[in-house]
Amino acid sequence: MSFARNKGEPADALVLFGMTGDLAHKKIFPALYGMARRGVLLTPVVGVASSKLTKRQLHSRIRQSIKEAGKPEDPAAMQTLLDRVTYVSGDYNDPEVFRHLKQALGDARRPVHYLAIPPSLFATVITGLAAAGMAEGGSVILEKPFGRDLTSAQHLNRIACAVFPEESIYRIDHFLGKEAIMNILYFRFANSFLEPIWNRNYIDSVQITLAESFGVEGRGAFYESAGCLRDVIQNHLFQVVGLLAMEPPAYRAYEAVQTEKTKIFRAMRQLEPDDLVRGQYKGYRKEAQVNPRSDVETYCALRLHVDSWRWEGVPWFLRSGKCMATTAAEVLVQFKAPPQKLFEDSFVAGERPNYIRFRLSPQAEVALAARVKRPGKQYVGDQEELLMLNEAADSDSPYERLLGDALAGDRSLFASQAAVEAAWTVLDRVLEDHHKVVQYEKGSWGPTQAVDLLGRHGPWHNPCCDGRDAEKAAI
């Protein structure tokens, strides 16, 4: 990312709380291995967890993690990672754990403390670090979700800010580390042709879809406490809205980008119950650790308004869900139809006018749809997509990129306290005051009631497996 970095001094150690947890196994170890392969893992890594592990057992877990992640074999990189890892076991409530951690850190004075643990333990660990004198000079990475609502987010921020200054707090959302997400910011402000049309005069609506073809996969207890609205929309999809809707930052730095995104969150109209459709895939209530009468949503679609000069009257439609027809994430920026029907086929019933499509996953793409005349005397044509970007196959993983940035003292891709709290404010009412969930079939595009949210702006754009067929069936 070319934005000037708001950098502190680089870290001299990484402390990983929750080293034996699922997040470390699936994401963090592979990211550290990737950094070792690129020769940028330069700090010691000290793991902390309650499990008692021998060095051999710890190394075995790390090797298994890398194997399951499908990473290329690189014996030298693996040895580099293993050589840098040490481990401290014990209860986070026990001050002795922090004393042993301090000993393991040795001469390190600028450690990054990664809290890859349940949010309920954040306060325990942060206060333990402060009591042991390990907060001064250090920084902390908080894994999403940042609270469950506005009140809990404010409480969490008070705890963190009582020990660490804001510039030393890294609120990590791996979605922001994706190449495709970073490209939205670049595409918007590196191309002058967009600015005259990137407003209410030319844009009809915006749709953002994040679909997953799988279910909760053993995470029933977590999903019962979170749900789709908290787990995906408040953080992932709101961040995408922020990047698409924000005004140009005044200068190239973290603070300028965060300021403009926060303005968008503050301009979002607070959601009402009728702005949402909440769904639940059939069979969810039979998942392990799920209430058999659960009203938790595994799908959510909503209609959002940004009450600003640029976006007044332009609806934003967001949806995400599990057990849907495919696994993909896309943005469709829908332009208005030409004001005059000069050619008979300039607007075909059932076909969208021009649009820009951002494919966010499984690969990154940017595509522009425009009508092109067919050869011959007749003034008839077809709408074709001009594909402008493909993600490089060897690009860094989001966690690899974000971990590297945190260790380097670069906050560019991390969320600010003000942005987090502003986003929660938009949802605060509907987190509790909402309609009951509607059941939907596995493998579908969610409840049919979600179509009603779009009105004349429908139908939903359904991302397809190859990312090209922009017009395949609506719900």
Q: Are 319 and 296 in contact (CB under 8 A)?
A: no
User: Which DSSP string corresponds to 152-199?
Assistant: HHHHHHHHHHHHS-GGGEEEE-GGGGSHHHHHHHHHHHH-TTTGGGSS
* Structure tokens, 237: 């999809």
461 in catalytic set: no
Angle subtended at Cα 128 by Cα 126 and Cα 133, rounded to the nearest 5 degrees: 100
Q: Which of 236, 305, 434, 457 is flagged as catalytic? A: 236
Q: Are 273 and 24 in contact (CB under 8 A)?
A: no
Q: Are 264 and 245 in contact (CB under 8 A)?
A: yes
- Between strands 355-361 and 365-373, the pairing is antiparallel
Taking Cα atoms as reference points, which of 455, 468, 203, 471 lies closest to residue 337?
A: 203
Q: Which DSSP state fits 415?
A: B
- Bridge partners (DSSP) listed for residue 89: 49
Distance CA 290, CA 255 (A): 41
Distance CA 24, CA 27 (A): 6
CB burial string 207-228: b at 16+ within 10 A, e below: bbbbbbeebbeebbeebbebbb
Residues recognised as catalytic:
236
